[in-house]
Amino acid sequence: MDEYDVETVADPDLTDPVLVEGLPGVGHVGKLAAEHLLEELESELVRKVYSTHFPPQVSIDEGRAELAAAEFYAVTPEDGRDMLVLSGNHQAQDTEGHYGLTDTFLDVADEFGVEEVFALGGVPTGELIEEYDVLGATTTDEFAETLTDAGVEFRDDEPAGGIVGVSGLLLGLGKRRGFPAACLMGETSGYLVDPKSAQAVLEVLQTVVGFEVDFATLEERADEMEEVVRKIQEMEQQNAPSPSDEDLRYIG
Amino acid sequence: MDEYDVETVADPDLTDPVLVEGLPGVGHVGKLAAEHLLEELESELVRKVYSTHFPPQVSIDEGRAELAAAEFYAVTPEDGRDMLVLSGNHQAQDTEGHYGLTDTFLDVADEFGVEEVFALGGVPTGELIEEYDVLGATTTDEFAETLTDAGVEFRDDEPAGGIVGVSGLLLGLGKRRGFPAACLMGETSGYLVDPKSAQAVLEVLQTVVGFEVDFATLEERADEMEEVVRKIQEMEQQNAPSPSDEDLRYIG
Amino acid sequence: MDEYDVETVADPDLTDPVLVEGLPGVGHVGKLAAEHLLEELESELVRKVYSTHFPPQVSIDEGRAELAAAEFYAVTPEDGRDMLVLSGNHQAQDTEGHYGLTDTFLDVADEFGVEEVFALGGVPTGELIEEYDVLGATTTDEFAETLTDAGVEFRDDEPAGGIVGVSGLLLGLGKRRGFPAACLMGETSGYLVDPKSAQAVLEVLQTVVGFEVDFATLEERADEMEEVVRKIQEMEQQNAPSPSDEDLRYIG
Amino acid sequence: MDEYDVETVADPDLTDPVLVEGLPGVGHVGKLAAEHLLEELESELVRKVYSTHFPPQVSIDEGRAELAAAEFYAVTPEDGRDMLVLSGNHQAQDTEGHYGLTDTFLDVADEFGVEEVFALGGVPTGELIEEYDVLGATTTDEFAETLTDAGVEFRDDEPAGGIVGVSGLLLGLGKRRGFPAACLMGETSGYLVDPKSAQAVLEVLQTVVGFEVDFATLEERADEMEEVVRKIQEMEQQNAPSPSDEDLRYIG
């Protein structure tokens, strides 16, 4: 197997598509958002990307094995621009792999004529969120203006630690290769899988890209998570030993 | 030395053989099963695979040094199909090595005309096992049917974490290269070397591949392990400080 | 992206320049010193070096993303020799990357006709410093004499652990490639960002290379750090639980 | 710099030399032994081996920087066979580097016409040693006989964990490349630098290779270590808190 191996599953024509990336990360915000898009809108699997930098692992679904991969889906909604949605269960296992996979993802974006890149993710605040702001970072001033108009906040030196992994490199390598790219980061506690943060990110994306999706299933999932939080808070009030931050991380 | 280095020791003709892999893993189930095959049936060492991804190490046997390697044996039982059995003491030390070694193993399988791949292993349950079920995962529906008929269980999303290492990749890469492949996973506590689980796996393999082996030595070994467990339980009842899970891991 | 990728931003002619390296390290002494040079003297960004051995990360400045990189600046002061100043926020993430990046940095030095290399850094003493000595290491006896005249101390077998990372390799690889190279190491506690140590190092560099800079902003920063130390000492005297060494590390 | 970079310093003719390796390891037995040979017999530096798999580091000796390297010395004693002695302060930092460096070392051995390889090291027993046995492992039966005659012990399955690092691979790769190779392992507690174990190993080597060295400096060093041990035992008897094993490790 090659270090980076792109399998062509289908080859539809897309018109001036945007790339929407949602791989696993803080609060699983990006992944939840990308998966919600794929559930709510008609989509077609077009590429699978295998790599020796992914975990040496197969996932099992009803007894059938699937090699670790990232997947590209073509989404052509009635309203709004065509989308190439990048989703999956894995990040690269090492530094070199992050760079090489992101370059491979941008090669696929090139093939489909992608004009703008949106990396979706979460930004951890360390506390439970009341109002879900979406923080932005871009490679161009123009892109920043469009996003500001859509309600995205840009703050000096935030996130303080920069953006790590594929989302960050889609901006860093994207800029060097001439893709206007933006990262949309939903605020999230960082302790829980956060469907509300994913919804906040998707609402921005809707405005900017022009599609419309129903949020009912995401809201249901959010209600379930709130139930979890409520129970934890009750336990705390009863002076029962509370689960540690570590235990809370990514309950869902 | 090359990154992956296959040494030809012998080159017998095999008729439509199956590959049986048993490298170290959970409860040493796969390794015990493969070694039992090699002890009970006539076998011939045919290939040694060295790799810079194996530990930088020699083992010492009666003062003679042997470089870390995986070994292929040809097994041609009177009843049943020919087998190519892959055994050894090491897994790759890094992600890339898992992919590269599995590809190299499949190259050897190709050379011998292997038609089906069986990866043997254990699946940890976290508790002592009463009845040893064998869990399956495959790359084709046909293979799954054959295995179901032989008593293998297929469960939705089990094992939950997928299958990691060479066993998993034999399915993942095997599928991409056109080998029908299956993983047979004996249930095991995960705390002890588990000869009973190895026997359960071999009984399925016997049915599907058609050979017959005696299980007396494996049963003896199982009795010894049960003695160990009994002593641990006694210690617990006497309120003596019991060995931790960590201590129990792979006693054998 | 290539493993090491040098982007040309500008290509001014420099006359017999010296290379001055100040990447992150002990007490951030080298980085503070290099950045102070760039603030006080006129400078021009000439090269950016990207690498798959840098963290897979972008930094965010007012909402704009910048890929992890090291930067070379041309500095042509009125007094003294021309300088090529190497600064940045990252070290390589692995052993191979340290070697490869240092080689790449020396390639850039070659292009600009660099004649001598100065690696700036700190050497940890484990205690608060009264008088800031500067310790030296070089690749040639001549260079050592010049530095001794400028007040640099050379001690047998110090620093005991040698010099690690780019600073060390600039000497080790520089020597092999024929660059006279020196490391100037300001003594520092190792617990705090240390502007005074950076000033001590720059004062030596001033004497040897011939430029002059104002130290007012570095002194201000030092005063702020002293205020931090004073507060910590007060806390200790009041028997309040004092911050651990770990907490003190790189406060600034 | 190349991944493995051999610098030729001198090129004397050696007659049927043996390779004697003593890199850092358990109790520094091999390193002490090799360094003692170089101190007691006339020797000439002939090769330096640099590698991107060594730590990214220079050592400092009287203010002069030396890049991490392994060194080969030619030793031509009046009595006995010529020797090529491999010494240094570093082991490879990763699995691949252990294999690659060992291969590079064997290339140098090839160039000098080496006929037999001796890897020197220690084998940890976990307790203070009264009588210093030397344990052996070889690649050929002939070699084993010679060593047995010289008082070396060969035990079934000892050392239990095999031999790791360059010493192990000199046997493993040496065997594949046709070098008769042996590892001489002095028993040592594993807690302290052990000059007595180094002497035991050298006494065997003297017998087999035929040279003679004085052990006075090694005995002095051993006396110093015994003084250290005595003080530690006194401290224990006075119920003073004793240094942990970790503290004792490689005192010297």
pLDDT digits over C91-141, tens only?
Answer: 999 999 999 999 999 999 999 999 999 999 999 998 888 899 999 999 999
- Check CB contact under 8 Å for C138 and D61: no
Closest C-alpha among D79, D3, D75, D65 to residue D44: D75
Does C164 lie at the interface with D, CB-CB under 8 angstroms?
yes
**Res A236: pLDDT:** 78
Q: What angle do CA A228, A229, A232 make, to 5 degrees?
A: 90
For C62, the closest chain A residue by CA position comes to A156
- Answer yes or no: are the C-beta atoms of B155 and A53 closer than 8 Å: no
For D3, the closest chain C residue by CA position comes to C96
From the CA of C174, how many Å to the nearest CA of chain D? 10
- Check CB contact under 8 Å for C65 and A157: no
For B239, phi then psi, to 5°, come to 60, 15
Instruction: Note whether B touches D: 3 CB pairs or more under 8 A.
Output: yes
Which residue in the set A50, A55, A60 is minimally distant from B158, CB to CB?
Answer: A60
Which residue in the set B95, B138, B144 is minimally distant from A56, CB to CB?
Answer: B95
Does C13 lie at the interface with A, CB-CB under 8 angstroms?
no
Q: Which of B241-250, C62-71, D195-204 comes out lowest in average pLDDT?
A: B241-250
Does D133 lie at the interface with B, CB-CB under 8 angstroms?
no
Contacts of B63 in chain D (CB under 8 A): 136-138, 144, 154-155
pLDDT of B247 over the 70 cut: no
Question: What's at A207, amino acid-wise?
Answer: T
DSSP, collapsed to helix, strand or coil, labels residue D242 as: coil
Residues of chain A predicted below pLDDT 50? 241-252
From the CA of B154, how many Å to the nearest CA of chain A? 5
Mean of per-residue pLDDT scores for chain B: 92
**Res D239: pLDDT:** 60
Mean of per-residue pLDDT scores for chain C: 92
Contacts of B64 in chain D (CB under 8 A): 137-139, 141, 144
Chain A: touching chains (3 or more CB pairs < 8 Å): B, C
Contacts of B95 in chain A (CB under 8 A): 52-56, 93-94
Radius of gyration from C-alpha coordinates of chain B = 18
Contacts of B166 in chain A (CB under 8 A): 56
ipTM of this complex prediction, to 2 decimal places: 0.88
d(CA B19, CA C112): 60
Does C121 lie at the interface with D, CB-CB under 8 angstroms?
no
Q: What is the pLDDT of residues B191-200, one digit of tens each?
A: 889 999 999 9
Token pair for residue A17?
């598509």
pLDDT of B249 over the 90 cut: no
CB burial class (10 A; 0-12, 13-18, 19+) of residue D244? exposed
- Taking CA atoms, B193 is separated from A217, B229, D84, in Å, by 45, 11, 46
Instruction: Note whether D touches A: 3 CB pairs or more under 8 A.
Output: no
- Check CB contact under 8 Å for D64 and C181: no
pLDDT of C212 over the 60 cut: yes
Q: Which of A38-42, A230-234, B125-129, B246-250 comes out lowest in average pLDDT?
A: B246-250
From the CA of D160, how many Å to the nearest CA of chain B? 7
Mean of per-residue pLDDT scores for chain D: 92
Which residue in the set A55, A65, A94 is minimally distant from B175, CB to CB?
Answer: A65
Contacts of B141 in chain A (CB under 8 A): 64
Average pLDDT over residues D178-197: 94
pLDDT of D242 over the 90 cut: no
Does B62 lie at the interface with D, CB-CB under 8 angstroms?
yes
For B96, the closest chain A residue by CA position comes to A52
Q: Which of A64-68, A216-220, B53-57, B231-235 comes out lowest in average pLDDT?
A: B231-235
Contacts of B93 in chain D (CB under 8 A): 95
Whole-prediction pTM: 0.90
Q: What is the pLDDT of residues D34-65, one digit of tens each?
A: 999 999 999 999 999 999 999 999 999 989 99
**Res D249: pLDDT:** 41
Categorize the per-residue pLDDT at B120 as very low, low, confident or very high, splitting at 50, 70 and 90.
very high
Which residue in the set D102, D137, D156 is minimally distant from B65, CB to CB?
Answer: D137
Does C176 lie at the interface with D, CB-CB under 8 angstroms?
yes
What is the CA B80 to chain-centroid distance, rounded?
A: 19
**Res C239: pLDDT:** 60
- Check CB contact under 8 Å for D58 and C95: no
Which residue in the set A53, A60, A94 is minimally distant from B162, CB to CB?
Answer: A60
Contacts of B156 in chain A (CB under 8 A): 61-62
**Res B161: pLDDT:** 86
Q: What is the pLDDT of residues C57-94, one digit of tens each?
A: 999 998 999 999 999 999 999 989 999 999 999 999 99
From the CA of B155, how many Å to the nearest CA of chain D? 38
The Cβ-side half-sphere exposure at A63, using a 13 Å CA radius, reads: 18
Does A121 lie at the interface with C, CB-CB under 8 angstroms?
no
Closest C-alpha among C80, C138, C148, C86 to residue C112: C86
Q: Compare D241 and A201 and report the one with higher pLDDT.
A: A201
Radius of gyration from C-alpha coordinates of chain D = 18
Token pair for residue C45?
């960004």
**Res A7: pLDDT:** 97
**Res C110: pLDDT:** 97
